Structure 1
Amino acid sequence: MNANVNNIYKKRNYVQAQDTSNYSFDLEDPATWPSVIDRKYRLCIIKKGAIQVKNFKFPMNDEQRSFSEKYYYKTMSNGEKVVRPWLIYSTKMNVVFCFSCRLFPNSKNKTSFTDGFNDWKHLSERIKSHDSSIYHKKSNQEWLELSWRIDSGTTLDCELQKEIQTEKGRWRTVLKRIIACIIYLAQQNDAFRGQNCTIYTEQNGKFLKLIEMIAIFDNPMAEHLRKIKNKEIHQHYLGPRIQTELIHLIGNKIRTEIVTRIKAAKYYTIMLDATPDASHKEQLTLIIRIVQITKTTNNVVVSVDEYFINFLHITLKTGLGLFDVLKQELSNLGICLSNCRGQGYDNGANMVGHKQGVQARILNDNPRALFLPCCAHSLNLLLGDMANCIPRAMTFFGVIQRLYTLFSASTERWEILNKHLKCLTLKPLSETRWECRLESVKAVKMQLKEINNALIEVSESTKIPAIKSEAISLAEHEMSYEFVLSSVIWYNLLNNINKVSKTLQNEKISIDFAVNNLKGLKQFLNKYRENGFNEAKEEDIHICKQIDIKPEFKSKRKSLKKRMFSYESSPILCSTNGEECFVNDFFLPI
């Protein structure tokens, strides 16, 4: 009999996850089973099988004793170890049960293994006595017979069971296709729903349209939609609620896998960023970076991987508020903050503050969680401040933004611009993305003559005085020697900085290569400060010859300061060299 029970134990048929969702108890934990188990539930439990908990830290009692996996095995007289398939452990109650006696209890002769046993000191003795009891052998026999009937399809309701299995197979086939559609739309970041949720109607959304398209080529889905259309079934799993539920289930499954990888890697780096969403709620983005080691038959692959974990809703943007939200999320995921070895945030005071910021609070709990500011954010702040603190630079980028605003505000003017431009189009400036300045400067520098021709055509064709005045003003600014020289200098600086920035963002870059790139950029800037102006002038003169601009600065007069007291010297009216002013006021400060 033991051999037969062992065979059933090994060949048990596991119930799928969707089958267990209809029950108010856990099929794997006998402590949650109802006191009276009807035939329907008994069949499901037997199909699931006797699940023996392993690789689990069993809790100690007051006597410092606990359950152990060794009790799952029986040592025979010849030294052979045989599994006891009937012995199962409840993680919720910290007790052991007899699987067969729990399913087929004897009302007259109840045993402690029917209600749960946790006297670990006398467990060995009680297991031996229970294993040899007549009531246990009888329940084992009933378990064996019912399991055999289920496997052979000879139960009293075998025909009904066959219909149930056929229906289960049909639903699994349909659900696989539904889940595939949900994963596809989620990966493409597409909207699911339309104006209604009825199949074969207009404006019913991408999800239902995708289901309808699959039904054209797939018989199971076509049959499913036919039954829905003919109102043969009412539970069709195509509604908004099941879509949302499946998205959450898939997301939780992915997040569980990510957390497993993080725990396997042990050490990790935290990256946070907060921004308001479309509903004006502040969302904190949590990303974790790990070093993942994958062993193959031939070699070992080491990679640095980043994983998005979650969007966390926050109400307080203070360092303490963000830290509490982060700490709670890590606790919910079962990730130890003590294993954090790095932090990466933007340069906000609530993030990088040395006393009250998030990085300081994490360092107080874990001194090994070193903080590094976001290089891209630091570079954006640096270049943005550099462009905004110099009056001539502010004027230069102001003209570029005015050019884009003038043409983009009207489709007619945009068509005029596209007619004159060869390849690059004008780009707007952005406060949060410094790279847009390079794209904007490049589009203007490479097409000065074409943009000027477009401005002239706009000024001649428009009947709006403000637009005409703006076009003429921009044409004069754009074709000035100072503007052309500024575009050359800015393009050279931003282009070299952008190359290094792109290199640093490469996932596979090494530290020594990154350091060499930064050193090279520093050498370029030092060299450009000494010789860059003359090099830019040579390039500027070549451009001016092509677009018929006189390559010279305009002389400017110094403004006179009014004499307030008699002992002050008389102001001297003098002419200032335009090139010297440009170098001192624009080039050297940059």
Structure 2
Amino acid sequence: MERFFKRKSTFEDSSSQGSHKVSSTRPRIEVNIDELEVDPAKRKSIYEYHINDRDIVRRRYLQMGPCQPKNHVFPTRVITGVNRRFNPKWFKDHSNWLEYSVSKDAAYCLCCYLFKDESSRLQAGAESFVTEGFNNWKKGPERLRAHVGNHNSVHARNVQACRDLMTQEQQLEQTEQDYRVRLTSSVKCIRFLLRQGLAFRGNDESYDSLNRGNFLETLKFLADNNEDVAKVVMRNALENHQMTSPCIQKDIANAIASETTEIIINDLGGELFGIIVDESRDISVKEQMIVFIRYVDSSGHIIERLLGSTHVRDTTSMSLKVAIENLLTRHGLSFSRIRGQGYDGASNMRGEFNGLRTLIMNENPSAFYVHCFAHQLQLALVGVAKENDDVGDFFVTFSQLCNIVCASCKRRDNLQYKQLKMLTDSISTDTIETGTYLNQEAVLQCPGDTRWGSHYGALVSIVKLFSPVIDILDEIRQDPKQRLEAFRVLKNVLCFDFVFFLHLMKDVLGITNDLSHALQKKDQNIVNAMRLVDVSKKRLQMMREDGWEALLQEVSLFCNKHAIPIPNLDEVYVVPGRPRHKVEEKTHLHRYRVERFYVVLDLQLQELNNRFNEKNIELLLCVACFDPRNSFARFDKDKLVRLAQFYPNDFSDIELELLDNQLQTYFVDVTSDPAFSKLDGIDELAQKMVETGRHLDYTLVYLLLKLSLILPVATASVERTFSAMKLIKTFLRNRMSDDLLHYCLVSYVEKDIFDQVSNEAILHRFQKMREHRGVLPCSSSYTLNLGSVPDDEDDEFSRVGSPNLHLDLPEQSDQPH
């Protein structure tokens, strides 16, 4: 047939009225509605999308609502000799359509962007709210009212088109009640699986399959135990309306994550916040960036919440900044509200010249960077110790020992058997204490530079399993293939040097082990972290002054137990391979005590002092003046006023003078009140101020206290999310999409918020994501007034997306509003 009739190559979109033509041969690019550009100045034209995707994109933008960063610090420009800026009150007057672009400092119209056509040129200035952006703030109110126009204006017709899109009539083949039961059942199953971090799909989801996946198996279990559900789901529903397809499962997960995030954003409100960011590879070797926000809630508690995860294809600092900015903008947040940054110390994040922290501070100087305390501790105690040649050689031998002993399952089982035999012999000879929870099975841990406290746990495990490990090495020496390697490791292990450094580093890392655990708390604050660091410094200093004899005795007992020769410490040490007359004579005691014990501890103390006294030390010392312990003994008014000067956007010159007087009154008040006498940290101080209502009496002091609490201490929350990512996206589920991973992470990590999300909210958000065959009846709590329509009739439709989304049409009038 095509030989006689030429196939038509183009078709015309009726909505474009002849000005936008789309080629039918153009390849259709799949649109990810969760990655749509939020900033109105950066969006591509609605007609650049494929004709079959435009309504999907329009529906998604209407769900998200207008881009209205209400808490953004809007820049000023000189217009006709007067400094003028965008007025955030305009958002309230035009909340249904007005948008603001942070990048371009201009206003836009959401409805006109979605449904603009050729006729928009007939109205003067209409294009300025769609493509160019309006920024003549002098005439802002007049131009906004003129853009709205009367009931027959271009803007009014576009608003009507938005309403029509969201309230399309749909034909049902089942009753509304059956559809609600079917959809609710799917939502309940997805909720259960998300909370457990389980996968949805199986390899074969047909009815006769034995591996249909967790979702269908859970739905079947629910149907088997509920007759009402069994009547309308699975085989009892139409094949094309079962609400069980992978697309439906993903949309439900999307709705759940969106509702969870919305509760978090509402809880944040307009408060200032800090960000905690880290990146890690998932099982499919994709670089995933996790972003947390840290803020103080209305009751004075420190809150850290997962804002989202995103796949970053380029890990340069600029790419990370763009990704973070897009994520914040998507939730109506702005860089201008950030008051703290916390990273793990990677060069692309903490770099002083081109790092992520510098790029953000260039836009917002008040977004102070605090290096993750736990990573500083790890780098200080392990990394610096390895700079010593003897300690570095010890850790190399230690890593080789772990690799060769844990190289196979057979060796691991053999190690477990020898450990059991050792415990049995010790119990039979009554040389160890027995009782509940004593003598538990131990495993040989391998140290990791990125795992907090892993080196300490590894050293403790080798001390416990030293005898079984030596037996394993003796057996490996019988293997011709690994005989030499085992011999070399065994020779290095069975010497006094290895045992000495084993106990020395175990004691050094043990001193800071409690600090490592404390820094992994979500509600940790700067003052407590600094106090724990000071305690670690004091303990290291005490060990240097009085710990030599105890360490030497411990090492000697260990060597005698395992028949390891101990050198005579009073003898002269001979350097191997060097003539004695060219080397200064020194005893073994001097070598171990001065050149090893003192040198290692001095390096630790020096590094701790350097790392925790960087540029931000003045800021941290000022924050410490809020410490309520010992009747506010560290209170210093001048330092707290200096702290406020670090935040010029939050404290004006007049407010600084008021703060000076308010701090004096505050100090007299809290020191005379017994309720403040037993507080143990600035976090408890903030909570007590809210309980007693003093946060209303001393507003400036409480604001300064909140800014101190916002400063991040550690990236423990992000690290826990990476652990959850490994649970959700496993080797068998390595093809999970990035957006589905985001939905699962938000729901799994923020379980306490997830539990607050009602099924009704999920149903209505899901219903408005795309066109569905079924229709849910409107609920009173999820209806949205569309305003007056041309025929003076009111209309309502189910609320979805942003709570600020209103599609109000202007009243009938011949004059512009």
| Superposition TM-score tier, normalisation by shorter sequence | 0.5 to 0.7
Shift of 1:509: 4.2
Shift of 1:575: 6.0
With normalisation by structure 1, the TM-score equals 0.66
CA separation of 1:121/1:394 partners in 2, compared to 1, >3 Å: closer, same or farther?
A: closer
Does 1:175 find its partner at 2:169?
no
For 2:452 and 2:235, locate their aligned partners in 1 and report how far apart those are by CA, in whole Å. 56
Could you say which residue in structure 1 is the equivalent of 2:342? 344
Could you say which residue in structure 1 is the equivalent of 2:562? 547
For 2:146 and 2:385, locate their aligned partners in 1 and report how far apart those are by CA, in whole Å. 76
1:374 is aligned with what amino acid?
C
Does 1:587 find its partner at 2:592?
no
Shift of 1:305: 1.2
Match of 1:409 among 389, 407, 430: 407
For 1:204 and 1:441, locate their aligned partners in 2 and report how far apart those are by CA, in whole Å. 45
Matches within 5 A, 1:352-431: 352-421=350-419, 422=423, 423-431=441-449
CA separation of 1:413/1:585 partners in 2, compared to 1, >3 Å: closer, same or farther?
A: same
Match of 2:243 among 211, 214, 237: 237
Could you say which residue in structure 2 is the equivalent of 1:250? 256
CA separation of 1:338/1:529 partners in 2, compared to 1, >3 Å: closer, same or farther?
A: same
Could you say which residue in structure 2 is the equivalent of 1:479? 494
Could you say which residue in structure 2 is the equivalent of 1:194? 202
Structure 2 SS opposite 1:198: coil
For 2:149 and 2:586, locate their aligned partners in 1 and report how far apart those are by CA, in whole Å. 103
For 2:147 and 2:202, locate their aligned partners in 1 and report how far apart those are by CA, in whole Å. 60
CA separation of 1:257/1:487 partners in 2, compared to 1, >3 Å: closer, same or farther?
A: same
CA offsets, 1:44-91, max 9 Å, x none?
xxxxxxxxxxx972249xxxxxxxxxxxxxxxxxxxxxxxxxxxxx99
Could you say which residue in structure 1 is the equivalent of 2:542? 527
Q: For the pair shown, which has the larger CA radius of gyration, 1 or 2?
A: 1
CA separation of 1:476/1:197 partners in 2, compared to 1, >3 Å: closer, same or farther?
A: same
CA separation of 1:25/1:475 partners in 2, compared to 1, >3 Å: closer, same or farther?
A: closer
Matches within 5 A, 1:46-85: 57-59=92-94
Match of 1:446 among 443, 446, 464: 464
CA separation of 1:310/1:220 partners in 2, compared to 1, >3 Å: closer, same or farther?
A: same
Shift of 1:578: 3.0
CA separation of 1:514/1:188 partners in 2, compared to 1, >3 Å: closer, same or farther?
A: same
For 1:409 and 1:553, locate their aligned partners in 2 and report how far apart those are by CA, in whole Å. 37
CA separation of 1:364/1:512 partners in 2, compared to 1, >3 Å: closer, same or farther?
A: closer
For 1:536 and 1:258, locate their aligned partners in 2 and report how far apart those are by CA, in whole Å. 51
Is the contact made by 1:199 and 1:208 (CA closer than 8 Å) also made in structure 2?
no
CA separation of 1:232/1:309 partners in 2, compared to 1, >3 Å: closer, same or farther?
A: closer
Shift of 1:409: 1.8
Shift of 1:571: 4.4
Structure 2 SS opposite 1:342: strand
Is the contact made by 2:182 and 2:229 (CA closer than 8 Å) also made in structure 1?
yes
CA separation of 1:572/1:311 partners in 2, compared to 1, >3 Å: closer, same or farther?
A: closer
Could you say which residue in structure 1 is the equivalent of 2:271? 266
Is the contact made by 2:405 and 2:472 (CA closer than 8 Å) also made in structure 1?
no
Shift of 1:242: 0.9
For 1:491 and 1:443, locate their aligned partners in 2 and report how far apart those are by CA, in whole Å. 10
CA offsets, 1:373-427, max 9 Å, x none?
1112222222342243122222222222222222222222222211122532111
User: More deviation in 436-445 or 302-311?
Assistant: 302-311
Could you say which residue in structure 2 is the equivalent of 1:216? 224
CA offsets, 1:338-397, max 9 Å, x none?
221111112223222223222222222222211111112222222342243122222222
CA offsets, 1:437-461, max 9 Å, x none?
11110011123233223333444xx
CA separation of 1:514/1:349 partners in 2, compared to 1, >3 Å: closer, same or farther?
A: closer
For 1:91 and 1:445, locate their aligned partners in 2 and report how far apart those are by CA, in whole Å. 66
Shift of 1:523: 0.8
For 1:437 and 1:485, locate their aligned partners in 2 and report how far apart those are by CA, in whole Å. 16
Shift of 1:489: 0.9
Shift of 1:311: 1.8
CA separation of 1:56/1:473 partners in 2, compared to 1, >3 Å: closer, same or farther?
A: closer
1:288 is aligned with what amino acid?
I
Is the contact made by 1:481 and 1:550 (CA closer than 8 Å) also made in structure 2?
yes
Is the contact made by 2:515 and 2:533 (CA closer than 8 Å) also made in structure 1?
yes
CA offsets, 1:459-506, max 9 Å, x none?
4xx4x2243344444333333222222211111111111111212332
Shift of 1:292: 0.9
2:272 is aligned with what amino acid?
Y
Structure 1 SS opposite 2:354: coil
Could you say which residue in structure 2 is the equivalent of 1:48? none
For 1:191 and 1:556, locate their aligned partners in 2 and report how far apart those are by CA, in whole Å. 63
Structure 2 SS opposite 1:557: coil
Could you say which residue in structure 2 is the equivalent of 1:577? 587
Structure 2 SS opposite 1:57: helix
Structure 1 SS opposite 2:274: strand
CA offsets, 1:277-298, max 9 Å, x none?
34443332211111112xxxxx
Could you say which residue in structure 2 is the equivalent of 1:108? none
Could you say which residue in structure 2 is the equivalent of 1:139? none
Structure 2 SS opposite 1:310: strand
| Larger RCO (alpha carbons 8 Å, 6+ apart) | 2
RMSD of aligned alpha carbons: 3.7
Shift of 1:209: 1.5
Could you say which residue in structure 2 is the equivalent of 1:110? none
For 1:580 and 1:206, locate their aligned partners in 2 and report how far apart those are by CA, in whole Å. 65
CA offsets, 1:258-295, max 9 Å, x none?
22222x251100111123334443332211111112xx
Could you say which residue in structure 2 is the equivalent of 1:558? 575
2:252 is aligned with what amino acid?
L
Match of 1:503 among 506, 509, 518: 518
1:234 is aligned with what amino acid?
N
CA separation of 1:120/1:338 partners in 2, compared to 1, >3 Å: closer, same or farther?
A: closer
Match of 2:483 among 468, 489, 510: 468
Is the contact made by 1:441 and 1:487 (CA closer than 8 Å) also made in structure 2?
yes
Gaps of 5+ in 2: 1-54, 64-89, 96-108, 113-144, 151-169, 424-440, 601-817
With normalisation by structure 2, the TM-score equals 0.48
1:588 is aligned with what amino acid?
Y
Aligned length, in residue pairs: 435
Is the contact made by 1:337 and 1:366 (CA closer than 8 Å) also made in structure 2?
yes
Is the contact made by 1:390 and 1:585 (CA closer than 8 Å) also made in structure 2?
no
1:465 is aligned with what amino acid?
P
For 1:288 and 1:269, locate their aligned partners in 2 and report how far apart those are by CA, in whole Å. 6
Does 1:284 find its partner at 2:289?
yes
For 2:559 and 2:285, locate their aligned partners in 1 and report how far apart those are by CA, in whole Å. 49
Structure 2 SS opposite 1:429: coil
2:309 is aligned with what amino acid?
F
For 1:193 and 1:486, locate their aligned partners in 2 and report how far apart those are by CA, in whole Å. 51
Structure 2 SS opposite 1:270: strand
Shift of 1:532: 2.5
CA separation of 1:547/1:121 partners in 2, compared to 1, >3 Å: closer, same or farther?
A: closer
